[in-house]
């Protein structure tokens, strides 16, 4: 089984020794991908950190939340897989139908090329979507590294997001990521021009190594409608810098399930980062010599969060906010109840 949960004794040991006395009672994961089998082209699988899967549905999520966080009450913000080859309409419909607005909260995949703007707004309202998940691939540029935030989120959809007070789960583009000056300008612009939209920088703006974050939050940290999700951040130095720099209520626990359940770790090497995984994956260096025993990206993230909390001297209230209350405030109803 590729999923690193407490069903494996080695992960149960980590949970008992390192996480059980740290994790609060309620956990809201703000970044989860959900897709049913009909979303992928027939016969295709999705390479989940190198492990082929055909689906990750609500039943899978419920099982995994129970196995990853034993004894905790859990909830999640869920959206589809934002890849152009996949059936976005089917994925959005599945997420909307399965989200109960008590434990699971839906965001809608958004493609800026959707032709009927009124229909997009109707679909958001009818599906009771609480926000949008744009993605750089949907811009369909030959050079994915040249995509701009403004192309992922044209004004017409931001006007809808502002009017309906939607969450916008933004995976920022461009090679410089958080440190890219154009990204910084366009994020500030979005937040100021659409103040009722709630903009979440996924993966802390994809700042996975120290130099990609130090000094890069100064122009962003005071925007009242900007938030930071921690998905796939395995690096305590990055997290400690974030915790010391932005207001606590802006920080949202998030994982990027199902990828975060795979064995692996994100590591910094010489002012860059890569993933290290036991099996080959496009985004990783893999351990062909089988030198290492891995746990999940998710448990590595929890270890890094704990380390950063302790180093920054943050309180239990900070931890409760990070894992649950901060995210809950962005949602209209009480999750996890």
Which spans of this chain sit near Zn ion (rule: CB under 5 A)? 256
Residue among 270, 282, 147, 256 at smallest CA distance from 212: 270
| C-alpha pair distances (Å), 262 with each of 3, 51, 218 | 5, 8, 34
Half-sphere exposure of 91 (CA within 13 A, CB side): 25
The residue at minimum Cβ distance from Zn ion is 256
How near is the Cβ of 32 to Zn ion at its closest, in Å? 8
How near is the Cβ of 31 to Zn ion at its closest, in Å? 6
Pick 256 or 301: Cβ nearer Zn ion: 256
Residues 189 and 158: beta-carbon distance below 8 Å: no
**Coil, strand or helix: which one is 270?**
coil
Residues 112 and 134: beta-carbon distance below 8 Å: yes
How near is the Cβ of 80 to Zn ion at its closest, in Å? 10
How near is the Cβ of 206 to Zn ion at its closest, in Å? 11
How near is the Cβ of 51 to Zn ion at its closest, in Å? 16
Pairing mode, strands 272-277 and 265-269: antiparallel
DSSP state letters, 83-144: -TTS-HHHHHHHHHHH--SSSEEE-EE--TT-S-HHHHHHHHHHTT--EEE--GGGG--SSG
Pick 4 or 256: Cβ nearer Zn ion: 256
Pick 258 or 263: Cβ nearer Zn ion: 258
**Residue 250: partners with Cβ closer than 8 Å, 6 or more residues away:** 221, 226, 227, 228, 326
How near is the Cβ of 304 to Zn ion at its closest, in Å? 18
Pick 139 or 319: Cβ nearer Zn ion: 139
Residue among 20, 124, 14, 36 at smallest CA distance from 70: 20
Pick 239 or 319: Cβ nearer Zn ion: 239
Pairing mode, strands 46-48 and 51-53: antiparallel
Pick 30 or 236: Cβ nearer Zn ion: 30
How near is the Cβ of 321 to Zn ion at its closest, in Å? 22
How near is the Cβ of 278 to Zn ion at its closest, in Å? 21
Pick 137 or 256: Cβ nearer Zn ion: 256
What span, in angstroms and rounded, lies between the C-alpha atoms of 81 and 133? Answer: 9
Which helix H or strand E contains 67, and what residues bound it? helix 58-68
Pick 148 or 256: Cβ nearer Zn ion: 256
């Amino acid at each position: 089984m590729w999923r690193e949960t407490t069903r494996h004794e080695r992960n149960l040991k980590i949970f008992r020794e390192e996480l059980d006395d740290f994790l609060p009672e309620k956990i809201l994961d703000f970044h989860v991908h959900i897709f049913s089998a009909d979303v992928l082209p027939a016969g295709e699988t999705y390479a989940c950190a190198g492990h082929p899967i055909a689906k990750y549905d609500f039943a899978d999520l419920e099982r995994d939340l129970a196995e990853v966080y034993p004894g905790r009450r859990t909830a999640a913000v869920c959206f589809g897989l934002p890849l152009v080859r996949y059936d976005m309409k089917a994925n959005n419909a599945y997420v909307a139908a399965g989200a109960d607005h008590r434990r699971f909260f839906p965001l809608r995949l958004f493609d800026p090329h959707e032709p009927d703007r009124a229909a997009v707004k109707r679909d958001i309202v009818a599906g009771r979507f609480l926000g949008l998940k744009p993605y750089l691939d949907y811009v369909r540029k030959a050079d994915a590294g040249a995509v701009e935030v403004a192309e992922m989120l044209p004004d017409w959809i931001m006007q809808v997001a502002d009017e309906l007070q939607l969450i916008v789960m933004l995976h920022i583009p461009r090679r410089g990521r958080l440190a890219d000056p154009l990204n910084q300008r366009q994020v500030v612009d979005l937040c100021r021009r659409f103040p009722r939209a709630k903009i979440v920088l996924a993966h802390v703006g994809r700042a996975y190594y120290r130099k990609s974050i130090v000094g890069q939050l100064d122009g962003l940290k005071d925007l009242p409608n900007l938030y930071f999700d921690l998905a796939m951040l395995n690096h305590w130095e990055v997290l400690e810098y974030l915790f010391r720099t932005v207001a606590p209520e802006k920080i949202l626990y998030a994982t990027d399930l199902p990828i975060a359940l795979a064995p692996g770790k994100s590591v910094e090497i010489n002012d860059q980062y890569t993933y290290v995984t036991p099996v080959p994956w496009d985004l990783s260096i893999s351990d062909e010599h089988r030198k290492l025993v891995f746990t999940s990206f998710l448990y590595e993230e929890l270890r890094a969060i704990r380390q950063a909390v302790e180093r920054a001297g943050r309180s239990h209230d900070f931890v409760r906010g990070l894992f649950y209350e901060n995210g809950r405030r962005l949602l209209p109803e009480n999750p996890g109840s």
